[in-house]
Amino acid sequence: GTTMWRLLTRLDAALLSAVLAGWLRSRTPPAPARPRRYRTVIAVDGKTLRGARLPAGRQVHLLSALDTSTGIVLAQVTVDTKSNEIPAFTPLLNAVEKVLGSLTGVLFVADAMHTQTGHAEQITNRGAHLLLQAKGNQPTLHAQLKNLPWAQIPVGDRTRDRGHGRKETRTVKAVTLHIPGGIAFPRAQQAARIIRTRTV
């Protein structure tokens, strides 16, 4: 165990991660042909590693990119101790592009922290797509989305689930943003609204 620890602490973490991701992808059976409308979906998320600490005592926080179809972590980068996940997004994107070869047509999904105009520009400039959440961290964008004519937009999908002592209904509406007075977010193509109603 001590020998393995000494070896692993001397390796370049980014290089090891890239090699392992490439090896795992080579071992994954090829996916069956899918209709063109289906895309490769990569989920970007940050996690603090339990029990792993930096020399200063701070816990290690990683930003990872997971291929949702294979379950393989394609890349991960360490978030700087004096920063947050936002500056780590570009190095993560570069690492994913290195593993995949190209990001054309890939759909990235991330949480509200990554609803940044810089992220949207980077993703679209590489031919990829980005699905983001708009919450209170972007008040202007959130207000613009809220003011779209949702009452005139038909319901695209509605699901009803029952279980664990509750009923839950989810209603989805979507609209193309190429309308007069769209939203002030670069390269925005569509907006979707999900309403969840829960009865306990």
Give per-residue pLDDT as tens, 81-97: 667 888 999 999 999 99
Residue type at 144 in one-letter notation: Q
Residue 79's nearest CA partner among 128, 130, 44 is 44
Which residue is listed with tokens 């105009």? 117
Question: Mind listing the pLDDT tens digit for each residue in 57-66?
Answer: 777 788 999 9
Helices 117-125 and 85-100 cross at an angle (nearest 10°) of 10
Residue 178: Cβ within 10 Å count: 9
Does residue 7 have a pLDDT over 70? yes
Shared domain check, 92 and 1 = yes
Q: Considering 132, 159, 185, which residue would you say is the last residue of a domain?
A: 132
Domain that holds residue 147: 134-200
H or E element that contains 13? helix 13-27
Shared domain check, 178 and 92 = no
Q: How many domains does the chain have?
A: 2
Strand 129-131 and strand 107-109: the pairing is parallel
> Rounded CA gap, 110 and 133, in Å?
8
